Amino acid sequence: MSEKVTEVEQHGIAPIPVAEQTSRPRDLFRLAFGGANTFATIILGTLPIAYGLSFWAAVAAVAIGVVAGGLVLSPMALFGPRTRTNNAVSSGAHFGVVGRCVGSFLSLLTAITFFAISVWVSGDAVAGAAQRLFGFDGGAALRAVAYGLIAIATLVVCLYGYRFMLLVNRVAVVLGTVIMLLGGFAYGGSFDPGFAGTGVYALGTFGPTFILAVLTTLANPISFGAFLGDWSRYIPATYRRRSLLAAPFLAQVATLLPFGFGIATATLVADPADYITGLTAISPLWYAIPLIVVALIGGLSTGTTALYGTGLDFSSIFPRLSRVRATLLIGSLSVVFIFVGNFVLDMVSSINAFATLIVLCTSPWMVIMMIGYVQRRGFYDVEDLQVFNEGRRGGRYWFRHGVNWRAMGAWIPATALGLLCANTPMITGPLSGIAGGVDLSLVVTLCTAAIAYPLLNKLFPEPREVFGPASPVSLVA
């Protein structure tokens, strides 16, 4: 396996040959945790404090978000070993081989957001550390150079592909963990667990702001939903489902470390909304260099896990684009977002808005996928999933013009109702006040998808052939 690390991966979204499914659930854990054990997650951990919550309220909100998100995420690891392709293509079994473009849109949304976060945070950490160590304030020019270099490095790793990513994440898991644990010595003397917050809540009162913090945290595990298949497709289907479910869930539980680091250190900086600058200013000199290392390695880890899958998927939607070309295209668009978001708009507000969109658009898509998996008893026709990618028509999953309107008829209203009920600083729907300002958007979107899809299948049964040799599981009496 090691000799393949520096070879450019040739696999696109065509089924991985069974002989090359040589990974294990522990590799899935490394990639999922390595992609989240980074400064991007630390930044998300600082936001509950920036919203005005106390330390313990922030811890509670993050714990709820991580565990709930991990439970929703873990079933998304089941598709890759069976379909031997990514989750967007696998979703064609439920949304139709053309309708699976919904999953491609979701992966694009997630990739741009988390690639931008990783490059932005890593670049700001480098610029802040340069000022802290050498007294050099390069201003916007230094940050722009740092963004560019980190973005290029991330793209290079993505272009090499899965094996190189796995190597980076193996390093990131160990190095990031050690450096964050060292933070206990760097900041322990200043940290006060009794931090009471600013008392000025982002949404006016405690309840709505607490829910906002939970939803912000949820964006982290939910963001992996479209990407787990990118890595689990290399795992043989012979592994037990319990192991496949445990790997991503435990990876999310492990992210309580970077989330906790972000919460604790955000209580120490003067302005949590300007966290990177504040953190480098209060860091002991001996910790400044490790902080740069974890920012750079972590930025590579998060950026590659997000960008790799989207480049992989868009190469199938646009046949003229190879995986390498699609990755370059999406990476370039993301770099534009980074510069516009940081130098023209408010990056923190932009991230908050994109995080909300990720949760409310991706979670109902995941619910429909999971329900479909249960109804099909895990049966998937590997060849027929590739119909659209290969320029063909027909097959088990063609439905009507390549779209299963039952799944689309559940996803569209679920997402729309969620957005109508959203109550965040950047996205406020007309129904945001139905619960006294408490954001019910996630509950609404999940319940709508969970009820509508089985009901539509009951009223308008899907073709018998999509269920394979076994009879379908009915979820509606």
Angstrom distance (rounded) from CA 159 to CA 9: 8
Query: Computed from CA positions of residues 37, 339, 219, 32, in that sequence, does the dihedral angle turn out positive or negative?
Result: negative
Q: Which tokens is 154 given?
A: 């991330």
Q: How far apart are CA 379 and CA 397, in angstroms?
A: 12
Contact 300, 157 (CB under 8 A): yes
In this structure, what DSSP letter does residue 428 have? B
Q: Are 19 and 1 contacting, i.e. CB atoms less than 8 angstroms apart?
A: no
The alpha-carbon radius of gyration of the chain (Å, integer) is 22
Question: CA separation (Å) from 348 to 216, 458, 473?
Answer: 12, 44, 44
Helix intervals (H) in 255-284 = 256-266, 275-282
Each residue's pLDDT expressed in tens, for the chain with a length of 477 residues: 344 544 545 556 778 888 888 889 998 998 788 778 877 788 889 989 989 999 999 999 999 999 999 999 999 999 999 999 888 889 999 999 999 888 888 877 777 777 777 777 777 777 777 777 777 666 677 777 777 777 777 767 666 655 666 666 667 677 778 888 888 888 888 889 999 988 889 888 898 899 989 988 998 899 888 888 878 998 999 999 999 999 999 999 999 999 999 999 999 987 776 787 788 778 888 887 777 777 777 666 666 666 666 666 666 666 566 666 776 777 777 677 666 655 555 666 666 777 788 889 999 999 999 999 999 999 999 999 988 877 788 899 999 999 999 999 999 999 999 999 988 777 888 888 787 777 888 889 999 999 999 999 999 999 999 998 888 887 766
Domain boundaries, the chain: 16-345
Tokens standing for 61? 């909100």
Evaluate whether 118 touches 306 at the Cβ level (below 8 Å).
Answer: yes
Lookup: tokens for 179: 């450096």
- Whether this prediction's pTM lies above 0.75 is answered by yes
Whether 129 contacts 289, CB under 8 Å? yes
Q: Determine contact, residues 118/302, Cβ cutoff 8 Å.
A: yes
Class of the CATH-defined domain 16-345: mainly alpha
CA–CA distance from 389 to each of 74, 77, 101, 149, 468 (Å)?
26, 22, 11, 34, 22
Using CB atoms within 10 A of its CB, is residue 24 exposed (0-12), middle (13-18) or buried (19+)?
middle
Question: Which residues are 400's β-sheet partners?
Answer: 403
Of the candidates 35, 34, 61, the residue with the CA atom closest to the CA atom of residue 47: 61
- Residue partners of 271: CB distance under 8 A and separation at least 6: 278
